[in-house]
């Protein structure tokens, strides 16, 4: 094996290990503090075991898989659940999405003729606010966006039917994963396609046709699609739009400020790395620019070759056409609202995309600088993974302590309400336990409240004839306002956290740590 081949193999092995390391925090415990994860696992369990009588899903829900735009993620998790079960299958989908991110970025860098080692700069961005919040579909859509852009660059240069089919497939899957990455993919493909030759332009955007048809149908028939259309029309009411100062203050929180005690260290270190790469590349560019000017002044024979090399350093035309996506993402953060109707968050999706799309814009730099920057990026990513793994493990061992035993006491197919008086964690930011009651549905079936089944983005919905009583909006954030005798008697059990309230009509069955399980008192709380 030649030296070049050995170097390639070593790079591939190191790249794979570094990428896989970023998924390690997901396996710090059975239950890890990711806010929406219990809801996603419960959804996969409903889809996968819908017809198991003991779990009671068929009595409580009707499947609506084609009503959700999030079809791709749930379909993959459903298939993996045959081998791994709902919980591990969902974690594997997240892990594959995280691992795929640097690989997708490397594909884009290769397509643009940029250094492949710059893809390692994605590693410190893998553990971010979107992951901590459990926005699984958005996380899975990001590598699809970047991979789609790589295919679009290659298609704009080769016009290969095979690449066109790949781009068409990726764009459809990206749409059925999340609308924000898909929208950027459409903009990127369109920017690459622009030319004076209308026939050629039509050919370049043709691979988007299947996904655009899906998007058009969805926007007209789905409540979420109609809500986005209303929002984009400027006629929406009830839009929540934070002031500029608040957006600036919260920027770090929506990026990498996830684990308590880290306080944006990873973000500032990443900015330093990217700045170093940009500075090293700019120095090379300035040096070659001066050499070109000197060659021209001396009337030498090298200007043409020097100009070609300089243009290569600046980047290809595809590089220049994709560059506007970065300021567009920043505009999205500072101009779009935070929420509208049931859609939240909106603007907060875009800073992470902006940082990732900045990486292909970096100019090339000397090999030694590339090696140093790539090594530092791997070290920073490893630090982020290690720090997060320990935070997740502490939360799993201390804050989730005893919950699994309480869940085991709940009979299959039960109806359980969750009153989470303190949804926060000492180790991870955001409201990591807000949806913890959904772990019961994921493990024992039945119906729980609060549930995503009441939202149009869910792949199933509650049957009206058997659904729980409707309660006021955002009651999951204000459990102290719930009237247990009037609003909870539908449920067989209640799970509480961080409070020992008096629940009329219920008695405490058991408690562990901050968790307690309550059973319905048949004599005092008749089922409505």
Residues 414, 352: Cα–Cα separation, whole Å: 40
* CB of 510 closer than 8 Å to CB of 517: yes
* pLDDT tens digits, 21-73: 999 999 999 999 999 999 999 999 999 999 999 999 999 999 988 888 899 99
Q: Over range 193-204, report the average pLDDT.
A: 88
Confidence of residue 135 (pLDDT cuts 50, 70, 90): very high
Confidence of residue 149 (pLDDT cuts 50, 70, 90): very high
Query: Residue 517 above 70 pLDDT?
Result: yes
Query: Residue 491 above 70 pLDDT?
Result: yes
Give the pLDDT of residue 109.
Answer: 96
Looking at the DSSP assignment, which residues form a beta bridge with residue 339? 240
Query: Residue 402 above 70 pLDDT?
Result: yes
- Ramachandran region, residue 516 (left: φ > 0; alpha: ψ -120 to 50; beta: rest): beta
Question: Distance from first CA to last CA of the chain, Å, rounded?
Answer: 75
Residues 139, 181: Cα–Cα separation, whole Å: 9
Cis check: omega of the bond before 149, within 30 degrees of 0: no
* CB of 500 closer than 8 Å to CB of 516: yes
CA–centroid distance for 93 within its chain = 11
Confidence of residue 499 (pLDDT cuts 50, 70, 90): confident
Give the pLDDT of residue 234.
Answer: 67
| Structural domain boundaries in the chain | 3-30+64-268+315-382, 403-520
Confidence of residue 406 (pLDDT cuts 50, 70, 90): very high
Q: Which residue has the higher pLDDT, 129 or 523?
A: 129
DSSP 231-280: HHHT--SS-B---HHHHHHTTTTTTT--BTTTTTHHHHHHHHHHHHHHHH
DSSP 94-155: HHHHHHHHHHHHHHHHHHHT--GGGGGGGGGGSS-HHHHTT-HHHHHHHHHHHHHHHHHHHH
Confidence of residue 310 (pLDDT cuts 50, 70, 90): very low
Confidence of residue 527 (pLDDT cuts 50, 70, 90): low
* CB of 514 closer than 8 Å to CB of 406: no
Buried/exposed code over 412-434 (b: 16+ C-beta within 10 A; e: otherwise): ebbbbbbbbeebbbebbbbbbbb
pTM (2 d.p.): 0.93
> Average pLDDT of the chain?
89
Give the pLDDT of residue 173.
Answer: 97
Query: Residue 385 above 80 pLDDT?
Result: yes
Share of the chain above pLDDT 70, in %: 93
Q: Which candidate, 70, 189, 65, 190, places its Cα nearest to that of 139?
A: 70
What value, to the nearest 5°, has the Cα angle with vertex 527 and ends 526 and 528?
110
Q: Which residue has the higher pLDDT, 10 or 334?
A: 334
Give the pLDDT of residue 308.
Answer: 47
Q: Which residue has the higher pLDDT, 144 or 369?
A: 144
84's CB contacts (< 8 A; 6+ apart) are: 92
Share of the chain above pLDDT 90, in %: 66
Give the pLDDT of residue 117.
Answer: 93
Q: Which residue has the higher pLDDT, 316 or 412?
A: 412
* pLDDT tens digits, 315-335: 457 888 999 999 999 999 999
Give the pLDDT of residue 339.
Answer: 85
Residues 18, 49: Cα–Cα separation, whole Å: 35
Q: Over range 352-371, report the average pLDDT.
A: 93
* CB of 344 closer than 8 Å to CB of 357: no
* pLDDT tens digits, 66-112: 888 899 999 999 999 999 999 999 999 999 999 999 999 999 999 99
Instruction: State the maximum Cα–Cα separation within the chain, in Å, rounded to a whole number.
Output: 101
Query: Residue 297 above 50 pLDDT?
Result: yes
Give the pLDDT of residue 224.
Answer: 74
Query: Residue 450 above 70 pLDDT?
Result: yes
Of 261-270, 314-323, 364-373, 496-505, give the lowest mean pLDDT range. 314-323
Confidence of residue 300 (pLDDT cuts 50, 70, 90): low
Query: Residue 303 above 60 pLDDT?
Result: no
Q: Over range 328-353, report the average pLDDT.
A: 90
Residues 295, 362: Cα–Cα separation, whole Å: 26
Q: Over range 452-460, report the average pLDDT.
A: 88
């Amino acid at each position: 094996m030649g030296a070049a081949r050995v170097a390639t193999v070593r790079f591939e092995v190191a790249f794979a290990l570094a990428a896989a390391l970023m998924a390690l925090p997901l396996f710090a415990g059975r239950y890890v503090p990711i806010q929406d994860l219990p809801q996603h696992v419960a959804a996969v369990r409903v889809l996968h075991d819908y017809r198991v009588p003991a779990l009671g899903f068929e009595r409580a829900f009707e499947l609506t898989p084609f009503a959700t735009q999030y079809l791709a993620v749930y379909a993959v998790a459903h298939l993996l659940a045959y081998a791994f079960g709902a919980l591990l299958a969902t974690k594997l989908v997240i892990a594959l999405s995280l691992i795929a991110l640097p690989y997708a970025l490397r594909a884009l860098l290769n397509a643009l003729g940029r250094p492949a080692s710059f893809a390692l700069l994605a590693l410190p961005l893998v553990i971010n606010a979107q992951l901590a919040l459990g926005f699984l579909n958005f996380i899975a859509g990001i590598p699809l966006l970047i991979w789609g852009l790589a295919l679009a660059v290659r298609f704009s240069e080769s016009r290969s039917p095979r690449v066109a089919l790949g781009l068409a497939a990726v764009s459809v899957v990206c749409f059925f994963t999340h609308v924000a990455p898909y929208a950027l993919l459409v903009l990127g493909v369109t920017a690459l396609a622009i030319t004076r030759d209308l026939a050629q332009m039509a050919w370049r955007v043709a691979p988007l046709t299947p996904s655009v048809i899906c998007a058009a149908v969805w926007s007209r028939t789905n409540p979420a699609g109609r809500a986005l259309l209303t929002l984009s029309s400027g006629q929406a009411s009830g839009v929540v739009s934070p002031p500029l100062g608040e957006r600036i203050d919260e920027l770090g929180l929506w990026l990498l400020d996830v684990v308590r005690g880290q306080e944006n260290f990873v973000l500032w270190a990443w900015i330093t790395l990217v700045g170093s790469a940009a500075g090293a590349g700019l120095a090379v560019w300035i040096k070659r620019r001066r050499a070109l000017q000197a060659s021209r002044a001396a009337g030498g024979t090298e200007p043409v070759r020097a100009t070609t090399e300089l243009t290569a350093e600046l980047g290809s035309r595809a590089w220049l056409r994709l560059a506007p996506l970065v300021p567009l993402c920043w505009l999205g953060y500072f101009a779009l609202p935070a929420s509208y109707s049931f859609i939240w968050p909106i603007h907060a999706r875009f800073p992470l995309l902006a940082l990732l799309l900045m990486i292909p814009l970096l100019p090339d730099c000397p090999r030694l600088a590339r090696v140093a920057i790539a090594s530092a990026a791997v070290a920073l990513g490893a630090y982020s993974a290690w720090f997060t793994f320990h935070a997740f493990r502490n939360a799993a061992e201390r804050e989730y302590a005893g919950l699994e035993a309480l869940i085991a006491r709940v009979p299959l197919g039960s109806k359980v309400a969750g009153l989470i008086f303190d949804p926060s964690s000492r180790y991870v930011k955001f409201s990591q336990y807000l949806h913890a009651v959904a772990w019961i549905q994921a493990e024992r079936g039945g119906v729980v409240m609060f549930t995503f089944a009441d939202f149009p983005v869910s792949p199933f919905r509650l049957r009206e004839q058997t659904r729980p009583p409707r309660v006021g909006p955002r009651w999951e954030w204000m459990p102290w306002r719930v009237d247990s005798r009037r609003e909870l008697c539908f449920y067989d059990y209640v799970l509480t956290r961080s409070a020992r309230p008096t629940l009329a009509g219920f008695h405490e069955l058991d408690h562990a740590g901050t968790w307690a399980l309550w059973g319905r008192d048949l004599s005092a709380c008749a089922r409505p």
